[in-house]
Amino acid sequence: MLDVTMRPEPEEDGRLIVVSNRIPRGNVPAGGLVFALHEALTGAGGLWIGAAEPTEQALDGLTPIDDGAAGGAYEKATFALTDREHRGYYLGYANSVLWPLFHHRPDLLEITEGDFEAYAAVNRRVARAIAAIAKPEDLIWIHDYHFLMVAQELRNLGVTARIGLFLHIPFPNPNDVMALPQVAALSPWLAAHDIVGLQTRRDVAAATETLRHDPKVQILPNGSLARGGRQFRVLSFPIGIDAEGFAATARASTPPELQLADGAPLLIGVDRLDYSKGLVHRFKSFGEYLSRRAPGDARATFLQIAPISREDVSAYQDIREELEQAAGSINGAHADLDWTPIRYVRRHIDRDVIAGLYRRAQVALVTPLADGMNLVAKEYVAAQDPDDPGVLVLSHFAGAAEQMDAALLVNPFDHGSFADAIETALTMPRADRVARHAELMQGVFEEDIAWWTRVFLSRLRMVTPLPQTTY
Ligand code: ADQ
């Protein structure tokens, strides 16, 4: 068995090589995963690799992006993929197999012949490109479910550098994993990393349980896992946001006039249009809240911003139709000449406007059915006026719930108790709002994006690189 004793002080490190499917061209959009990686690389220097626009033919190797957006702090490059690979790897295996499976929706799996082969081909191409440049002292940081096979391919190619994976989405339920045609491969894919980073302790428990089913995996007394003569660790690193920056954006933002009646409360939701975000349940719960109103009660407005995503995947077309129907029937039942209870906006809205709307809204509804973390919950907290803050209604099923138990936690499937929580949020006395917000704010500011980057990379640095002779 190899010795992977953690070393207390990092020795000389090589460069940081980051891989993510998305890579920004030009200005880095504030917020979200891409911004987090930009921040990490600006601090540490290194190389960021992401997918090129699909083309007819794909060659091996990397193509530098020279847009000046990194300000010289780090380099960017793309790997190529064909149109056909894009369909099989990205729309197919990543977003029609892994995404639904990892979000506890095996019923939505679309297993299509050839998709896994495209995924494997892209993962191998990425691994070959990295193997051509990686030095043993480098740190390789792989992001998300698009690249689960890259580390194994790198090890096959003899790469001994330290490799970390961060999975931004939940880990699947151990039973659901059986629906993956490549179920037997999942454990060796994960075991090829040194650190497998997940969002929450709940995810670590699910991953450990899944790995335990592999007879070749051993759980060691020090908490490490061992497989095939090497050790690795599965740990949680809950992602954060640039809380200072977001709070400043919210303070400076002047959101558009929404023309609500005097004193009428505003609730807000901001999500990509995705079945994992629980939008239909949220609309129905708000409908339930409305149906309990007495005639003279305040006319609350719920503003849901949800731009379309992944519209080439059929499950996303279905959710769009279902949501439009729900909004139509709830508004039909409750709207008046001068009041539309649900305002559903599919248009892209700029982040600084969103920040101002968060600050303007008395309540945020962040109620996914499954979510790795959910950054909107943290952004809403950062955007509030601490002296008169709004109330966060948060689903138990968002990874963020593990850190944010001072929010009003709800079960999004139970529309009645969700409606109760909306009522509680809208009527919460100011002192309670201030106390809950202060607790939430402390966590969001302390465990921010810089903290997340620091703890992940320092953990990866502490791994002793594998000796060259092992391969
Ligand atoms: P996402 O599923 O994309 O991310 P989320 O964490 O909510 O989900 O992050 C979305 C980001 O996009 C937020 O910064 C939000 O403000 C922004 N956004 C959302 N809708 C927007 C809109 N209409 N206009 C502008 N901006 C919008 C994945 C995982 C999450 C995990 C993150 C980070 O699914 O669980 O929290 O990665 O790890």
Residue type, 280: V
- pLDDT value at position 467? 61
168 is catalytic: yes
DSSP 312: T
The predicted pLDDT at position 6 comes to: 42
Reading the block at residue 113, the tokens are 């012949």
Confirm whether 107 is a catalytic residue.
no
Ligand 1 center to 375 CA (angstroms): 6
Could you give the CA distance from residue 291 to residue 285 in angstroms, rounded to a whole number?
10
At 384 the pLDDT is 98
Which atom of ligand 1 lies at the shortest distance from residue 241's CA? 14
In b/e form, how buried is each residue of 123-137, taking b as 16+ CB within 10 angstroms? bbbbbebbbeebeee
Residues whose CB is less than 8 angstroms from the CB of residue 160 and which lie 6 or more positions away in sequence, other chains included: 136, 465, 466, 467, 468, 470, 471
Give me the catalytic one of 115, 138, 274, 371: 371
Structural domains in the chain, sorted by start: 16-240+450-461 (3.40.50.2000), 243-446 (3.40.50.2000)
Asked if 237 and 198 touch (Cβ cutoff 8 Å), the reply is yes
Q: List all residues 6 or more positions away from 159 whose beta carbon is below 8 Å from its beta carbon.
A: 127, 130, 131, 134, 140
* Ligand 1 probe mutation, 22, 249, 270, most atoms within 8 A of CB: 270
**If you measure from the C-alpha of residue 377 to the centroid of ligand 1, how many angstroms do you get, rounded to a whole number?**
10
Instruction: Report the length, in residues, of the chain.
Output: 471
- Beta strand segments in 171-216, E: 195-198
- What gap in Å lies between CA 356 and CA 375, rounded to an integer? 16
Phi-psi region of 237 (alpha: psi -120 to 50; beta: other; left: phi over 0): beta
Question: Given the CA of residue 306, which atom of ligand 1 is nearest to it?
Answer: 23
pLDDT along the chain (471 residues), means of 10: 40 86 85 82 91 93 89 93 96 97 97 98 98 97 98 98 98 97 97 98 98 96 93 97 95 92 93 95 98 90 92 84 95 95 93 96 98 97 98 98 98 98 98 98 96 95 69 39
Task: Say how many Å lie between the CA of residue 36 and the centre of ligand 1.
Answer: 12
Q: What confidence score (pLDDT) does residue 26 get? A: 83
> Ligand 1: which residues within 6 Å by Cβ?
31-33, 168-169, 239, 270-272, 305, 307, 348-349, 351, 354, 371-376, 379
Q: What is the dihedral of CA 109, 276, 149, 452, to 10 degrees?
A: -170
248 alpha-carbon distance from chain centroid: 23
pLDDT of residue 281: 98
> Distance (Å, rounded) from C-alpha 370 to C-alpha 105?
9
User: Exposed (0-12), middle (13-18) or buried (19+): which is 113, by Cβ within 10 Å?
Assistant: exposed
Atom number, ligand 1, closest to the C-alpha of residue 32: 14
pLDDT the model gives residue 11: 52
Residue in 309, 358, 375 to alter for ligand 1 test, most ligand atoms within 8 A of Cβ: 375
Residue 324 Cα to ligand 1 middle (Å): 21
Cβ of 181: how many Cβ atoms within 10 Å?
Answer: 12
Distance 379 CA to ligand 1 centre (A): 10
CA 312, CA 104: separation in Å to the nearest integer?
21
Contact predicate 273/316, CB 8 Å: yes
